[in-house]
Chain A
């Protein structure tokens, strides 16, 4: 799975916007949207929000978790805990990236938020690598990883699977004879 595909999925999340135009309810396959009244907040999918934003038809209201204080708290918790802590949104990284790239003028303290989310991301990825490392070094057969987001899984997937495969290969080679020919076949 590509990162862009994950981002595509993230765009289905809803976000509040304040439109500056007026439009009746629109009926889409995915559900009804609107009605849009100028000045009144309305929930729309991120893809629409970004589209409207780029056409300067709305202001985006950042999600509640996209707040410096809350993110700081989360980052501290994330650093303190050894395991993964629950994240505010299953697409926090994607949403942050999308909203900050296209609507940073509607988000107070955009830079700080960017840094904080990056911090959280880095911490979590570091944890993930660490656990992968211990997983491999301790020759575990399975591990339990809660609260991982799709993007994080996706990031580690390629590397982890490949390396496990390689390891498997190497380990199989340790046993003389039997499996050698098989691997050649692979």
Chain B
């Protein structure tokens, strides 16, 4: 219900497509609404007052106060001539069914029928003795019915311009303004069988041809005069609006009232129009308000002649379906629906109704819903008045304002603000960063019509919904990339629309209308695809975590589910799939992570409650008022549309634990794996077609990624079995390795493609997914295609894949390939092809020698180590590029050593301990600490100096601890240096040990 015109008589109709609602009113304007929410309707001024309007074939006919009937074009509103004139104003105009003629009734007692194409061809129907109230065409164009203030309803023969029949049905008055009822007549469309005439509080139906009064539609609760009637487009239902503001819909075949509504304020309904689809009724009242009656049954059911019982049962079910716009779930026809259906037919006092109810009772028994028809005794209630379900909310972006605003925030988060300006002159997007150090502000022209955005420290992600011609697009401005080509765009498959999106660290996720989540790397590679159990509501990301809220189904309130996913470098684990607590009749309005610690909390604005759904503690904080718009939980809620925040944040505390036991994780992953493999089958259909790359490698890549997922799972499980049955795991892993190779090959193909397309950043991203072996190939490829910068970057990258390497290292025999090569430190040390390896080494050597301070090249690096070396203190990090390799290596190995130190120390204490945890440790145990011995010799003094009171065994223990805190390279350098250089004690095996130990 909304205000539309100034008070006075108003009329309403839909345009032919049903897209617009068109109203006219006392202010002389015709307004064209795109929907009830349209705050800025187009308007056409047709005169000082508009009495009536009719719209067909993009011609808008209005009766205005200057005694004319005019045509305007629709929707442009250009004047298209005057159709006819009267001596006083026309009261009602209407089109015939084909739109070729217009009939107009006037206060000068005349009715005119005019050809739209040629206004000179007029037929005048004289005979009324008072102002004409309304006119309506026979759909077959033979007759015309009119009602007049003289109390008569007359049917005219248009051709002969004569009165066919006249019924004195109405009260006599002297003017339209004094008439109690407007008596809008309506002729049944299609079959043209009935003419509906509102008489007092009933609607009488007259049969065409015989002109007999065949039936009366009435309702006990309808006590006031019926003002207007309108047939549904299918001709099966008749809607009536009364002076008292009630709206009724009857099923004409069964004469049952299927819908009752009361005008909110009880104003007189004076205009009524059905949507062409039959699913909505628009109405206007004498106070100038426009209302929409939604969720009506559709017109498609063609059951006029079938049993009314069926009609009644199916209709409300459809009614409910309409409520859930896209949930085509037949199960929603629950008890409530059924009882409603029963109530409905009880209400009509038709003789058949009791029988009908009993019949349906039988039906109910069949389906087992067991609704007892106790209702016939109960006094009549107009409609279902039980608790109505909260309609499921649509997908939204947290931190954005509604999409229909012309100036709106597409995103306001802790990084910055994305604004959208969408008006006549300009359609643009402004990106502004809170911290100007991140990036300067950006201004983009929004040619694609993006409606969703997310912003992170790395990139801006934009998406637009698809149209008929254009697919839904995802655009990413990766401004933090060093690549000159900072932008990428993907088209989603036809019929798949972006519903929600978010940016994590190094990746982007998109939820689509086909219940799919697609995860892209920030450079534009599709990394993951999986389906969601329900329609997405919103998504947020933080770091490597993705939080998704989706609809879980329906139980009266909104049932939302939460999933938290971790896209770690090693594992992708599903942490949650729980219901989101949401209070009664409320909507989720914001969702986010806190900035500090990644703890998930949710804030629900409509009730002002904050939830911490991840743990069981549930905070409820009242926000100051509804007008605050949550931007982030770690910041103050910012006032809507005002960039000035002024209120304290709802304080939230508590840090729910997100850890899950590793065993259950594995378990979950296994079930996940099942889901993935299901997806593989559809893969060809749903896969993204990257505009720039070819279809095949992309698909292969994604598929192989899934495989690799599966294999990482496999490998981790194999890893555990290892403890018990090593031989079996060996077999497994061998198999895995074979498949890995296949995957890597595909990766390489993809890499080459990207390389050709000058997507260097993407290349590096891909390289991160590769293993050592393939990276060397990639580097070779890059250098051969004269992309030295890329090759260099690849060589500097911490490309060792942790998830893969531990498996392979202990499997494959290691051959020493020439010289100590930086890659050896991090890589898996797989057998390298004889031709490939030396060449790569050459390239790298060239590069490293050209840079003076490359830390690991030869003895210089070693010396460097010796001087800097402070066993227990972490090495200060430098930011120069040349040390990048060193840094990443340190980090990785630090992690490793931290993990390893504890068990290793334990082993030292209890050498006879049960079988070691992993094969890597195993080998370590068998041939202990050769590199360590050398190191110990060197450092014994410092250790004893630090701790003079230590026993010999304690010294060794201490030394052991220190040695393990050293970085992998350090130890390697130590080992290799010793073996290659001065004291070759044990030769090759030695080095192998060193490498193994470090991995």
Chain A residues within 8 Å of B, Cβ to Cβ: 18, 20-22, 37-41, 61
Note all chain A residues with C-beta closer than 8 A to B414: 39
Closest chain-B Cβ to A49's Cβ sits at a distance in Å of 15
Which residue of chain B has its CB nearest to the CB of A20? B436
**Does B434 lie at the interface of the complex (its beta carbon under 8 Å from any beta carbon of A)?**
yes
Complex Cα–Cα for A41 and B433 (A): 15
Note all chain A residues with C-beta closer than 8 A to B645: 41
Residue from B414, B434, B437, B645 whose CB has the most chain A CB atoms within 10 Å:
B434
Note all chain A residues with C-beta closer than 8 A to B643: 18
Note all chain A residues with C-beta closer than 8 A to B437: 21-22, 38
Note all chain B residues with C-beta closer than 8 A to A38: 433-437
Among B593-647, those with CB < 8 Å from A are: 635-636, 643-646
Which residue of chain A has its CB nearest to the CB of B438? A38
Q: List 12 A-B contacts (CB under 8 A).
A: A18-B643, A20-B433, A21-B435, A21-B436, A37-B434, A38-B435, A38-B436, A39-B635, A40-B434, A40-B636, A61-B644, A61-B646
Are B644 and A22 in contact, with the CB atoms below 8 A? no
Closest chain-A Cβ to B643's Cβ sits at a distance in Å of 8
Complex Cα–Cα for A41 and B642 (A): 13
Complex Cα–Cα for A20 and B436 (A): 6
**Does B466 lie at the interface of the complex (its beta carbon under 8 Å from any beta carbon of A)?**
no
Complex Cα–Cα for A20 and B434 (A): 5
Residue from A21, A22, A38, A61 whose CB has the most chain B CB atoms within 10 Å:
A38
Complex Cα–Cα for A40 and B416 (A): 11
Complex Cα–Cα for A32 and B636 (A): 21
Residue from A20, A22, A61 whose CB has the most chain B CB atoms within 10 Å:
A20
Are A39 and B434 in contact, with the CB atoms below 8 A? yes
Closest chain-A Cβ to B438's Cβ sits at a distance in Å of 8
Which residue of chain A has its CB nearest to the CB of B632? A39
Note all chain B residues with C-beta closer than 8 A to A37: 434
Q: How extensive is the interface on chain B, given as a class? A: 10 to 19
Query: Which 3 pairs, one residue from A and one from B, show the smallest C-beta to C-beta distance?
Result: A39-B434, A38-B435, A38-B434
Complex Cα–Cα for A61 and B646 (A): 10
Complex Cα–Cα for A7 and B996 (A): 72
Residue from B414, B416, B644 whose CB has the most chain A CB atoms within 10 Å:
B644
Closest chain-A Cβ to B253's Cβ sits at a distance in Å of 62
Note all chain A residues with C-beta closer than 8 A to B433: 20, 38
Are A40 and B436 in contact, with the CB atoms below 8 A? no
Among B277-292, those with CB < 8 Å from A are: none
Note all chain A residues with C-beta closer than 8 A to B436: 20-21, 38
Note all chain B residues with C-beta closer than 8 A to A61: 644, 646
Are A41 and B636 in contact, with the CB atoms below 8 A? yes
Note all chain A residues with C-beta closer than 8 A to B416: 39
Which residue of chain A has its CB nearest to the CB of B635? A40
Complex Cα–Cα for A26 and B483 (A): 37
Note all chain A residues with C-beta closer than 8 A to B636: 40-41
Which residue of chain B has its CB nearest to the CB of A56? B436
Note all chain B residues with C-beta closer than 8 A to A22: 435, 437
Closest chain-B Cβ to A58's Cβ sits at a distance in Å of 10
Complex Cα–Cα for A105 and B507 (A): 37
Complex Cα–Cα for A33 and B125 (A): 87
Note all chain B residues with C-beta closer than 8 A to A41: 636, 645-646
Complex Cα–Cα for A40 and B434 (A): 8
Complex Cα–Cα for A21 and B644 (A): 17
Are B644 and A39 in contact, with the CB atoms below 8 A? no
Complex Cα–Cα for A21 and B434 (A): 7
Are A20 and B644 in contact, with the CB atoms below 8 A? no
Among B158-192, those with CB < 8 Å from A are: none
Note all chain A residues with C-beta closer than 8 A to B635: 39-40
Closest chain-B Cβ to A43's Cβ sits at a distance in Å of 12
Complex Cα–Cα for A51 and B580 (A): 47
Closest chain-B Cβ to A95's Cβ sits at a distance in Å of 17
Note all chain B residues with C-beta closer than 8 A to A18: 434, 643
Which residue of chain B has its CB nearest to the CB of A62? B644
Complex Cα–Cα for A40 and B433 (A): 12
Q: Mark B419-435, 1 if CB is under 8 A from A, else 0.
A: 00000000000000111
Closest chain-B Cβ to A103's Cβ sits at a distance in Å of 13
Note all chain A residues with C-beta closer than 8 A to B646: 41, 61
Complex Cα–Cα for A41 and B434 (A): 11
Complex Cα–Cα for A20 and B441 (A): 12
Complex Cα–Cα for A18 and B433 (A): 12
Among B208-259, those with CB < 8 Å from A are: none
Which residue of chain B has its CB nearest to the CB of A59? B643
Note all chain B residues with C-beta closer than 8 A to A39: 414, 416, 434-435, 635
Note all chain B residues with C-beta closer than 8 A to A40: 434, 635-636
Residue from A21, A38, A39, A61 whose CB has the most chain B CB atoms within 10 Å:
A39
